[in-house]
A and B are shown apart, each in its own frame.
Chain A
């Protein structure tokens, strides 16, 4: 038996022993998702138990170094852990922008003190992070941001406004792009971290077409940010921001893989349309649309696996996250269009118990933002054209 075979059998046994049965069911609503943080109230004892056990092993961030709260696993071991979790349909123990976005950036650009302090808290789900990137006049043209950070010796004085700050009202800390030099566009940006409880920080949720408010407007009024909270050099925050955006795009592209556990699209279509005597969906055109969609969805599943393998081996093109983000989000929008078609009038019910509070129509509307947030599809296509295909300017 190879070391990896041993690791697999031990992991399988540990998961069988430690993953609560309630944590092996598909996520049905936002309440089932564990985000951690100071305001975290577990939706069940099992959710808390699962987070604690995984965090204790470092498996909320299996491939991070043990010194920062990770599991210290190799890429091959990490892949095995993910496969074994998928095999029992185990839920993600912790969802976190700290894990998927800030963590990788700190691992690359952070000081030892920043890593020891922030990464360990992210790994244990103690601090929930939000991202201060977009501004009212800096969306796709992100580097056009205006939020200013004035040098006050040992600290910066931050003033300005951010927008589309996901879960700003629920987050404990923010990683934020600020302008430290007005004379240079990309070369005048710094990357800073601060507590959302700092005096001068306020947030206001934005009601969306889905009826939910996951995004906020965020305002900074003379917020004091200690200079030790700056990541990497002053005016070089754009390097950190771009690196982090790659990870954000990678995370968003995961949406293209669909929901865990079962296939709601197929199950939903069977439930509403029914199967004919030949065992086929009674609506042949819907069936064909779903089947051709599934070809792309399954192929994208292979692409995601390939991308992660190449990333871990340092073989991925640095702009490849743009392709993943573009394809994954367009796919996810297509999936929810089909989910709505498959659900028929059932899928239109906005508040009923039958529709679990309008889970499908609200998600359908939510997916429309996938190709806007984290850089629009058009921006991703620009990046692919210029940086991968090297087409002329």
Chain B
């Protein structure tokens, strides 16, 4: 498989690029923020995504989806990133779908996701930094389980119809095994969600589970074997967040290069200054390398390769590094106007920071590479 988009994927990219730019440009996000919207995204837009078929992009055709792969899902996410479009696409159509895939829970939740009626949230993180540890407990109780503990940084956690929760049915926090994944409906008794607005104006919830009772059929996959669907979820989420970061970094870079071609100082275009040209060219190089790393991870995931895990960490770390550079250079090269709320470039900086943190930052993923390589 060559490492570039094939013809079908390029056609899909054109479609998605036009659709997102038309229906959810940066002004859409700005309007939601200015209205102090408490949902954090537009349910109408989520419906439109469904009508375009995007929501079922990773769901098999036999279950009503498009039956495509992570490369195609990434194409959608890159445009979401480029336009800073608030959307539950990453958590729902990518990460949750991958977790549910092949389990009994798929039949229950896929139709709503495909129809644009269901939004999923991922209750994975317990600390301020993403880790592979799970301390939250799920005790056997009657016919089901009782969940106790807290999760945070749960995007859409306060409005989601479905919350995927990683909890411990055995062992201790750092153990790889003994984890079970649950599909918890939003109205479960004992579950409280407190949404906080983040720096990028998106919303993430802190969830408290105080003995939340769920039936045995809420288990995704097998009891004590939640590591398998959780790993699927994480690989998909990390790769998807990388693709969205690529869009954020690429969007900021395009905006900056465009500005360099129109802004004059000392009576000449600032884009003609060699000091800025070299920095722009360096930025371009970092973004290109990041793009290759993302596509490599997506392709290996789609192939089911045993090298996918490493490629996913490379992609997440590399996009965080490259996009951070892109947004920082973006604000700097815009000068004072880049610091104003009126101008969009600052939004890119805020969104990049949130995505860089999501599913593990560059240091977390570099550490994973080191552990895997035995040092």
Chain A residues with a Cβ under 8 A of chain B: 76, 263, 266, 269-270, 275, 279-281, 287-288, 290-292, 294-296, 298-300, 302-303, 305-307, 309-310, 312-313, 315, 323, 326-327, 378, 380-382, 384-386, 388-393
Q: Are A306 and B314 in contact (CB under 8 A)?
A: no
With CB as the reference atom, state the residue of chain A lying closest to B293.
Answer: A299
Can you give 6 A-B contacts (C-beta < 8 A)?
A280-B371, A280-B375, A288-B366, A295-B362, A384-B284, A384-B285
Mark B93-105 against chain A: 1 for CB-CB distance below 8 A, else 0: 0000000000000
B156 at the interface (CB under 8 A from A): no
* Cα–Cα, bound, A385→B270 (Å): 13
Residues from chain A with a CB closer than 8 A to the CB of B31 are: none
Q: How far is the CA of A334 from the CA of B278 in the complex (A)?
A: 19
- Give CA–CA (A357, B51) in the complex, Å: 68
With known contacts A295-B321, A392-B272, A305–B281 Cβ distance under 8 A: no
Taking a contact as CB atoms under 8 Å apart, the answer to whether B281 and A392 are in contact is no
State A309–B375 Cα separation when bound (angstroms).
Answer: 32
Considering the complex, give the chain A residue whose CB is closest to the CB of B299: A302
A-side contacts of B318, CB under 8 Å: 295-296, 299
A313→B311 contact, CB < 8 A: no
Residue of B290, B317, B365 ringed by the most chain A CB atoms within 10 A: B317
| CB-CB contacts below 8 Å: B110-154 with A | none
**Contact (Cβ within 8 A) A389 B366:** no
Is A303 in contact with B272, judged by CB distance below 8 angstroms?
A: no
Is B288's CB within 8 Å of the partner chain A? yes
Contact with B289, one of A275, A294, A303 (Cβ below 8 angstroms): A303
Q: CA of A74 to CA of B217 in the docked complex: distance in angstroms?
A: 53
Of residues A269, A378, A392, which shows the largest number of chain B Cβ atoms within 10 Å of its Cβ? Answer: A392
Query: Is B3 in contact with chain A by the CB < 8 A criterion?
Result: yes
Q: A275-B375, A295-B366, A310-B4 are in contact. Are A303 and B293 (CB under 8 A)?
A: yes
Q: Chain A: interface secondary structure?
A: helix
5 closest A-B pairs by CB: A385-B277, A384-B281, A299-B293, A291-B366, A302-B296
CB < 8 Å neighbour of B257 from A315, A378, A391: A391
Closest residue of chain A to B272 (Cβ to Cβ) is: A392
Nearest Cβ on chain B to A289's Cβ, whole angstroms: 10
Any chain A CB within 8 A of the CB of B265?
Answer: no
CB distance from A75 to the nearest CB of B (A): 8
Report if B197 contacts A (CB, 8 A): no
Name the CB-closest residue of B to A312: B2
- Chain B interface size, as a band, is 35 or more
Interface contact A295-B2, CB-CB below 8 Å:
no
Q: Are A298 and B314 in touch, CB under 8 angstroms? A: yes
Contacts of B367 in A (CB 8 A): 291
The answer on a CB contact under 8 Å between A290 and B375 is: yes
Contacts of B285 in A (CB 8 A): 323, 326-327, 384
Within 8 Å CB of B277, what residues of A? 381-382, 385-386, 389, 391
Beyond A295-B362, A299-B292, A306-B295: 13 further Cβ-contacts under 8 Å? A279-B374, A291-B369, A292-B366, A295-B321, A296-B321, A299-B315, A310-B4, A327-B289, A378-B278, A385-B280, A389-B277, A391-B280, A392-B271
Residues of A within 8 A of B38 (CB): none
Q: Which B residue sits closest to A278, measured CB to CB?
A: B371
The answer to whether A294 and B369 have CB atoms under 8 Å apart is yes
Which of B271, B296, B375 contacts A281 (CB under 8 A)? B375
Q: Which chain A residue shows the least CB distance to B254? A: A389
Task: Let me know if B370 and A302 touch, CB within 8 A.
Answer: no
B23 CB-CB contact with A under 8 Å: no
Whether B3 lies near A382 (C-beta < 8 A) is no
Contact A313 B321, CB 8 Å, known A290-B370, A295-B314: no
Residue B373 CB within 8 A of the other chain: yes
Known: A313-B2, A392-B261. A299 touches B375 (CB 8 A): no
Among B144-193, those with CB < 8 Å from A are: none
Contact A388 B278 (CB under 8 A): no
Q: How far is the CA of A393 from the CA of B260 in the complex (A)?
A: 12
Chain A residue at minimum C-beta to C-beta distance from B257: A389
